[in-house]
Amino acid sequence: MTKVPGFEARLALIKGRFFLARRLNEAAAQEVERVDEGVPPEKEVEFELLRDRILFRLGRTREVVHRGLRFMQSRKLKSSYEGDFYVLMSAVALKDREIDQAKEFSRRARALFEKAEDLPGLKVALRNLAIVAQNLCDPAEAVRQSSELCSVASRIGDFAGYCEGLDFRGSTRIDSLEFEEALADFERASGLLGDGFSPHLKNRIRISRGQALRILGDYAAAESDFSAAEGYFRGSRDTFSLGQVIRLQAALALDGGDPSGARTKLEEAEPLLKDVPDQMERLEIQRIEIALALGENERAGEFLARLLSVGDLDRLPYFDRLHVLTLRSAWAEGRDPGVRDDLVRLVKEPVSRNLPLKRLPALVGLLESGPDETVREEVLALAETIRKAFPERYRRNFDRKREIVRLRELLRDVAP
């Protein structure tokens, strides 16, 4: 039987993409490494892109940048391929928290894809722009970009891409207090997928919907979604999604007043997320929350020191910095005025106004660290805004939220 020229390289390209789409990064890398030569000239760019995407997934971001730039400079690329490289550069910049650079790369990618009329590429660039907007604490812009993403996916008949767009838009709407709209996006995406189509994506959407339900205080429904997703991902090789849903179950247990159960879940999630820096930072933040809930102030201090020892607080996204400073304020118990000053500065930044759900615990933390009439009025107004944004069927849950319970306790303590 005559061997087709470049057959092994073409097969590696197909298998590598298949494995990468399912987050089987090592398997994808093995497929590419098998092909040392014999890549057909017309497939060289696609092969280089796949290799760089695998390196990115494996955390070798510096190598991705160097290879990508060298490759782009070494030949004249079609607009769509150049756009693909800029999308990848944007993802690297996002991972390294170089948000302004990520925005510039994403804009270039968008312009190149529009020039080439490459709608699948445009869809990816729009998703990156939506993620950039999230990181810049601009949920309205994130919703706008993800709505455009849905529109493009619909135009090209990308059914899975449309559902992914709905999932992403639903997540961004939470920050804008658009709860009904967010739940509608999750329900539509889940309903369109049905029972037989893409169980992986369906369970990713269950995780997103579970997070929304947790915020709305419907802990039973959130646990149902998380448990279903956990059951699916335990049977898959996607350890990231499994670790993420277990970490979220830990958060749910803490919300439900079970810090010991939350710690058990967090310990189970840790080895699954050890290679995902942003998830490990969220895990460390939860570890501090749990220690404080258990009255382990000294241990919470050790966890705080460890979290901050690996770099400056500014390396964290704004919403995580706000969370960490709120926890530091609770840990200091009013003994360190410098912590309060840092929290005041951060909560007064203009972008803070765009994040009402994340701002509320910080304001309660400020009120906790000392009586302040201005803060008191502001936190009461914000709590009422959030309560009114809750869909009617969930408003009874609002009073159960931890920060609201603590706020009421504080108001009783300082009432004239």
Are residues 326 and 416 both part of a single domain? yes
Q: Place 83 in a pLDDT band, splitting at 50, 70 and 90.
A: confident
| C-alpha distances out from residue 405 to 222, 345, 364, 397, Å | 20, 25, 10, 11
Same domain, 295 and 243: yes
Task: For residue 206, tell me if it sits in a domain.
Answer: yes
Which two structure tokens, joined as six digits, stand for 263? Answer: 């710690």
Average pLDDT over residues 345-353: 92
Q: Are residues 216 and 268 in the same domain?
A: no
Closest of 335, 347, 394 to residue 375, by C-alpha: 347
pLDDT digits (tens, 9 = 90+) for 302-328: 999 888 876 667 778 889 999 999 999
What predicted TM-score, i.e. pTM, was given to this entire model?
Answer: 0.84
Its domain, for residue 255, covers: 238-306
Last residue of a domain, one of 306, 331, 349: 306
Contact 163, 201 (CB under 8 A): yes
Are 275 and 325 part of one and the same domain? Answer: no
Domain boundary among 247, 282, 306: 306
* Residue range 139-178, pLDDT digits in tens: 999 999 999 999 999 999 998 899 999 999 999 999 999 9
Check if the beta carbon of residue 347 is closer than 8 Å to that of residue 366: yes
pLDDT on residue 176: 92
Same domain, 243 and 225: no
Strand, coil or helix: what is 76?
A: coil
Same domain, 282 and 357: no
* Cα gap 149→381, rounded to integer Å: 34
Q: Is 413 exposed, middle or buried (0-12, 13-18, 19+ CB in 10 A)?
A: exposed
The full DSSP string for 230-251 is HHHHHTSS-HHHHHHHHHHHHH
Please tell me the least confidently modeled range out of 5-9, 329-333, 377-381, 399-403. Answer: 5-9
Distances (CA, A) of 95 to 67, 90, 259, 316, 317: 17, 9, 31, 11, 11
pLDDT at 1 over 50: no
Question: Please, are residues 113 and 125 in contact by the beta-carbon 8 Å criterion?
Answer: yes
Number of domains in the chain: 3
Shared domain for 291 and 327, answered yes or no, is no
CA-closest candidate to residue 154, choices 139, 169, 136, 140: 169
Q: What is the mean pLDDT of the chain?
A: 86
pLDDT in tens, 245-273: 999 999 999 999 999 999 999 999 999 99
Which pLDDT score, from 0 to 100, does residue 71 have?
65
Whether the pLDDT of residue 382 is over 90: the answer is: yes
Mean pLDDT confidence for 178-203: 89
Q: How many CB atoms lie within 10 A of CB 114?
A: 15
Query: Taking 70 as the threshold, does the pLDDT of residue 207 lie above it?
Result: yes
- Please state the φ and ψ torsions of residue 83, each to the nearest 5 degrees: -60, -40
In the chain, how long is the greatest CA-to-CA distance? 92
Neighbours of 119 (CB within 10 A): 16
Tokens read off for 19: 């494995």
Q: Are residues 262 and 208 in the same domain?
A: no
Cα distance between residue 153 and residue 185, in whole Å:
15
Looking at residue 43, what is its pLDDT? 65
Please tell me the predicted confidence (pLDDT) of residue 4: 42
118 pLDDT more than 70: yes
Helix axes 356-368, 337-347, angle to 10 degrees: 150
Q: Which of 121-135, 174-188, 320-334 comes out lowest in average pLDDT?
A: 320-334
Q: Does residue 164 sit in the same domain as residue 229?
A: yes
Q: Could you say which of 288, 306, 324 is where a domain stops?
A: 306
